[in-house]
Amino acid sequence: MKILKELSRKEFRAKFGSEDQCLAFLAATKWGEKYKCRKCKNERFNAGKKKYNRRCSRCGYDESPTSHTLFHKIKFGIGNGFEMAYDIAMSKKGANSIWLAERFGVKQTTAWLFRRKVQEAMKSSEQFPLEDEVHVDEFETPQKGEQGRSKSEKKIRIVIALEYRNGKPGRGYAKVIDDYTAKSLKTIFDVHIDKEAKITTDGWTGCAPLKKTYPHLEQKLSDKGQNFKMLHIQIRNFKNWLRGVHSYCHESYINQYIQEYFYRFNRLNFRTTILEKLLNRMIAHTPTTYKSIKYNAT
Ligand SMILES: [Zn+2]
Please give the order of strands across the beta sheet that includes 45-47.
45-47, 54-56, 62-63
* Rounded distance from Cα 32 to ligand 1 centre (Å): 17
Name the strand (E) or helix (H) holding 140: strand 133-142
Cβ burial 63-102 (10 Å sphere, 16+ → b, else e): bbbbebbbbeebeeebbbbbbbbbbbbbeeebbbbebbbe
* Rounded distance from Cα 48 to ligand 1 centre (Å): 12
Write phi, then psi, for 73 (nearest 5 degrees). Answer: 55, 35
Model confidence pLDDT, tens digit, residues 64-114: 999 999 999 999 999 999 999 999 998 877 788 889 999 999 999 999 899
* Rounded distance from Cα 138 to ligand 1 centre (Å): 53
- Tell me which residue of 294, 264, 290 sits closest to 121, measured CA to CA: 264
Q: Find out whether 41 and 56 touch, Cβ atoms under 8 Å.
A: no
* Rounded distance from Cα 55 to ligand 1 centre (Å): 8
* CA separation for the pair 126, 136 (Å, rounded): 17
Average pLDDT of the residues in 291-298: 58
Range scoring the smallest mean pLDDT among 58-72, 127-141, 149-163, 185-199: 149-163
Q: Is the pLDDT of residue 4 over 70?
A: no
* Rounded distance from Cα 64 to ligand 1 centre (Å): 14
* Rounded distance from Cα 41 to ligand 1 centre (Å): 6
Amino acid 119: pLDDT: 93
* CA separation for the pair 8, 274 (Å, rounded): 12
Q: Is the pLDDT of residue 298 over 70?
A: no
- Confidence band of 289 (pLDDT split at 50, 70, 90): confident
* Rounded distance from Cα 53 to ligand 1 centre (Å): 13
Amino acid 250: pLDDT: 67
Model confidence pLDDT, tens digit, residues 272-282: 889 999 999 99
